[in-house]
Chains A and B, each alone.
Chain A
Amino acid sequence: NAGVTQTPKFQVLKTGQSMTLQCAQDMNHNSMYWYRQDPGMGLRLIYYSASEGTTDKGEVPNGYNVSRLNKREFSLRLESAAPSQTSVYFCASSETPPGPRGYTFGSGTRLTVV
């Protein structure tokens, strides 16, 4: 089935470790997004990419980097993880601009930083 695939689903890191969250979509969407979701805070945009080769900061970009490897893939990197980055991370994709079908989300990555 067409959709958005994220890996890994769960991860525990020690403070200072690095990791990359992977996201791939097969919906032929131009736009891709990384959100984090914390209790009571809703979904907050970290970075987004309106097309291959372009990336822009969202509301909470500090501590993160992204790479739009090609049209299908958009990765999120934590260079030096901190406990404040404990969260659920969602990747999403959409048409540009998002049409009536809105965003399609991946199933999420639950990250704990200890």
Chain B
Amino acid sequence: RKEVEQDPGPFNVPEGATVAFNCTYSNSASQSFFWYRQDCRKEPKLLMSVYSSGNEDGRFTAQLNRASQYISLLIRDSKLSDSATYLCVVNGRGDNFNKFYFGSGTKLNVKP
């Protein structure tokens, strides 16, 4: 079983739409959760950390559900510039605590 699983998409949405992605993780002991954004042929860049209480950064909201072992990312009022692949990231277990595991990514296309 993969450590982190995401729906690959693509999610095709019009500008101004609200879109949500989920990501499930297998390690119940994971403590660190992140969403990264990756543009085509570029390196991943940190979008936001995900905290237990949930957190918001402008149009982006991240939530953590430990009981069901998933994290979510909500994007409101989508912009053309939001088109990218969104990577879910969690840390490993035991000796792998310092290592991150990446999902395969969910592709978002925002259309005019």
Contacts and interface: CB of A to CB of B under 8 A. Distances in A.
Contacts of A96: 98
B42 A107 contact: yes
A98 to B, nearest CB: 6
A102 B44 CA distance: 11
B34 A107 contact: no
A31 interface: yes
B97 A97 contact: yes
B49 interface: yes
B103 A98 contact: no
Interface string B3-16: 01000100000000
B87 A98 contact: no
Interface stretch (A12-20, A35-43, A60-68, A70-78): A35-43
A48 B102 contact: no
A79 to B, nearest CB: 24
A53 interface: no
B98 A31 contact: yes
Interface of A: 31, 33, 35, 40-45, 48, 50, 58, 90, 96-98, 100-108
Given A103-B44, A105-B44, 8 more contacts: A45-B99, A97-B91, A102-B34, A102-B100, A103-B46, A104-B46, A105-B45, A107-B43
15 contacts: A42-B102, A42-B104, A43-B44, A43-B102, A45-B100, A48-B99, A58-B99, A97-B91, A97-B97, A97-B98, A98-B91, A98-B98, A102-B49, A103-B100, A107-B43
Interface of B: 4, 8, 32, 34, 36, 42-46, 49, 87, 89, 91, 97-105
Which 8 pairs show the lowest CB-CB distances between chains A and B? A42-B104, A105-B43, A43-B102, A100-B49, A97-B98, A42-B102, A102-B46, A102-B34
